[in-house]
Amino acid sequence: MSGWPEGMAPDQATLHARNELTIPAAPESLWDRLVDATAWPAWYPNARNVRVLGAAELAEGVRFRWTTFGLRGTCTVTTFRPYRELAWSSAFLGSRAHHRWRFTANPDGTTTVVTEETQRGLLPGLFTSRVRAGLLHWHQRWLEGLA
């Protein structure tokens, strides 16, 4: 499957969570909101203490630190295709994660946003159903906050 780092495609990962929402807004306004990561805590309650390192907002190769799901981690932006796709990778507690956002403009002026996360490693392997349920819940809240 294209767009995923080696070993992190949904059919290769230990865990895969996918959420989708059609939002009555243009991709540009949603994108601008998403790449302003330091503002996430104002509209996504599972994001805390977000710091973009060496840049004002997310871009290809930019790293950011944040607390999510009670874990402090550093992520690196791996895909940055304005108004279409944003993705980042991270490693935590002996596991790896990859998170991807895709934006599709619809003819009626809405945008379909898909957010997916895959994980591999010990933690997602031991607690697959619990971690997946948490991702699905909070990522839906993230989509709703983006709207």
CB 111 within 8 A of CB 30: yes
141: helix, coil or strand?
A: helix
The single-letter DSSP state of residue 39 is G
Q: Rounded to two decimals, what is the model's pTM?
A: 0.93
61 phi/psi in degrees, rounded to 5: 80, -10
**pLDDT (tens place) for every residue of the chain, 147 residues total:** 467 999 899 999 999 999 999 999 999 999 999 999 999 999 999 999 999 999 999 999 999 999 998 889 999 999 999 999 999 999 987 899 999 999 999 999 999 999 999 999 987 877 788 889 999 999 999 999 999
Where exactly are the structural domains of the chain?
Answer: 15-146
- Sign of torsion over alpha carbons 62, 97, 27, 33: negative
Residue type, 58: L
Which CATH number applies to 15-146: 3.30.530.20, 3.40.640.10, 3.40.50.2020, 2.60.120.200? 3.30.530.20
